[in-house]
Structures are given as C-alpha cells and as structure tokens.
Structure 1
C-alpha cells in the first residue's frame, strides 16, 4: 500500500450542550498540538466534520493559559490556519484511499455528533480494515462507540483504549452536562479502558494500529505515536 503522506483530521460541528446553556465545540489544542507534530514529520492534513462547513471552538480552549500551551496561540493568530476551520469537508465527501491515517479530535461537542454520524462510523471501520492507523484523543473516542467491523464486532471489543475519564469530567464540572459517561461506554463495549495515574496527565494507549489519548494534554503524544507508526510502514 503506497504511502500518501496525508492524514485526515475529524472535528465537531456542535457548538453547545443540550442540557445546559454552556458553549462547546472543538478543543483547539487537540487539533494544533497534533498538527504541529505531523507537519514537522512531513505530513499534509485535511480537516473534515460530520456536517462539513464551520467548526465551533470551545471558549475554554481559548483562555490565555490554555492558548499558551505548546504553541497553540501561534496557530490561533495564524489567519490562514484558522480559516481552515471555516469550511471543512463533509465526512461523506472523504476518500479512504487519499490518507494513511485518521485522527479524531475532541471537545465536548463530539459527544453529540460523532456517535450519530453513520458516515464517520463507516469510514472508521474502513480505515481500520484497510490497515490504516486509527487515532483519537480525549472525547474523540466517542467516535469509536458505534463502529462495527465487517464481522459485526465492535472495533474496540478486546482492544486497549483510553479517552476522557469520568474523574476528569467531574473535575471539569461537566458531569451534569454530558449526555453519557465515555469511560463507562467504552468499557460496556468490551474495550479494556486504561487511565493515567492522575487526572489530566498526558496518557496514550497503543493497541496495534489503534491509538487513543486520554485528554487534551495527550494530543501531542498521540501525534508522535501516529507518526512513529506511519514511519515504520
């Protein structure tokens, strides 16, 4: 299988929670930290979303303290880069053969549209069964919940995975706002859920071509793991 040197990044279209009035969307650093790693390694990237078009940003990911982490503010000030979020591809328009890997970002918005996207579920299964790298970070793991392989088995059954933990949800004061417990849902599907020793510590789990990161601070390490696996192909 010829290398394409291209990675597909998937983001949310959802700007708010359903039960409470707080705003949400893409956690910007989960895009930029991964992007920086992959770009330095020579990969090009495209951004897609379930509905296509504009991508909302979680306002908390734009605080001065958060933007200061790992160069996110530099990307936020980059007009050309930020304009990529103004008109994303629709998942249904994406071609499997154009990419070596797929990466699902988080932000709480994905809890609402990733598991509801049949196009995303199908694409994730096709990526995995084609021998490509499948990766997620934080709430991006919600995009794994409804993915079934051609055998009918859930993609994550028997796999080691991680994603935003319930203790982190409580510490973030979102336990009453989220529609479900991601940690619990992953385990219900037969995944072997793993977590860092301390909440919000960077943590990545690799199970073959499936790479998952626990929280926003894990995006850089997910990028490094994806690049490392692709370099070995």
Structure 2
C-alpha cells in the first residue's frame, strides 16, 4: 500500500466576475477512487485546511459530471473530506510516496501563488516522490524550482491548453494562461485534441490535459507507484 497526498484548491472566486469556481470534482474523484479501490491510502489537504469548494459546472446535481464525480457526491465519507480536509502544513512529506494535484480554475489563484505549495513540491521532487496533476493542477508547478531551475524545464508535460481556455471564455479572466506559462518555464508541452483524454509521464512527473484525462493520469500514477 502506498500513501498519496492530494493537494486541492480552496479558492472559490472566478476573479472579479462574481462567478464561482473551485475544484473540478471529477479530477479529484476519479484518481481518489482509483487509488482507494486499489488499496492505497489517500489524504486530501488544502492550504490552512480550508474547505474545498466544487466548481458549479462540475457538480453532479447540476451537470453531467462523470461517473466518478457522481459516486463521490453520493459518498458521505468522501463528501465530508471537502468540508474538513487536512491542513497541508501539518503533513509529514516523508510518509508519502506521491503527491497529486487535481485541477479546477481555483488552482491558478491559490496553489500557483503559494510559496508553501512550491516548497513542498520542490522537497517532494528532491526526495524522489512521484508528482502528478491534471488540467489546471499543473498550475501548482509554476513556482516550483529544483536547484535554482523550474521543475518543469525540459520535461514533457500536459495541461489545460490555451485553446481549451478560449473555449471556456475565461482567457481574459484567469491570472495567466497555463499552457503559455509552462512553455515560458521551458516545459516540453504535449497536447492532444481539445477535451479528449491525454496524459504524459516523464519519469516521476505525470500530467494530464483536461478533466477527461483524469482516469489516464490515475492509471499512470498507479503504474508509477507499482
């Protein structure tokens, strides 16, 4: 059994639009169940232990959110995690084998701008942990440096693309375009068709392009753990 630390966004505001955002539920739910059903131990944490908001567009009660998200929404124990996640600063990184960051637009506001998250992920990489993320989750990587260089420099990565962001109509709302920022940091960004499953593994770094890639990322993570 492996131990996986999942770091979720706790940010709920879509810039100054008055609209809500947060975690994209499928991106947590699919890996959560793949790992739990496989016998692995999972801890979900946020900065300061703040509650996890669900992006309304990923809420199974309002939308076709995917099988895993529907299962999660009906799982009282799982839903309780959103209301009382672990405190990230209290986690002992040495006890974990991997760190996973699900997406949701909230990530590009809180996790991407967090020195605490950047430091933890840098230490995780130096300690030979696996790091995985999906969709906007790789936004948490933009501030991560290892030995003075961006973690993503020269590595094959995938993430929510500029064309996908344009489709959402949020190009002018998000604080930065994730594809552009990753390229600026020297990442070898690999992308597939918009809103189709696409995931990349480069050694201990695993990334997926969009919500539809959540299962593929989970599969690559489990393979890496084994």
TM-score, normalization: structure 2? 0.96
**Residue 65 of structure 1: how far off its partner (Å):** 4.1
Does the CA contact (< 8 Å) of 2:196 and 2:212 recur in 1?
yes
Indicate yes or no: 2:24 matched with 1:27: yes
Q: How does 1:24-173 map to 2 (within 5 A)?
A: 24-63=21-60, 64-67=62-65, 69-149=66-146, 151-173=147-169
State the match for 2:194 in structure 1. 199
**Residue 225 of structure 1: how far off its partner (Å):** 0.4
Unmatched segments (≥5 aa) in structure 1: none
Does the CA contact (< 8 Å) of 1:38 and 1:224 recur in 2?
no
SS of the aligned residue for 2:221 comes to helix
Indicate yes or no: 2:175 matched with 1:179: yes
Cα distance in 1 between the residues matched to 2:50 and 2:106: 15
Does the CA contact (< 8 Å) of 2:57 and 2:63 recur in 1?
no
Cα distance in 1 between the residues matched to 2:27 and 2:8: 10
Cα distance in 2 between the residues matched to 1:139 and 1:159: 17
Count of residues in Structure 1 that have an aligned counterpart in Structure 2: 225
Which 4+ stretches in 1 moved above 3 angstroms?
Answer: none
Does the CA contact (< 8 Å) of 1:204 and 1:212 recur in 2?
yes
TM-score, normalization: structure 1? 0.93
Cα distance in 1 between the residues matched to 2:131 and 2:68: 25
**C-alpha root-mean-square deviation of aligned residues, in Å?**
1.2
State the match for 1:13 in structure 2. 10
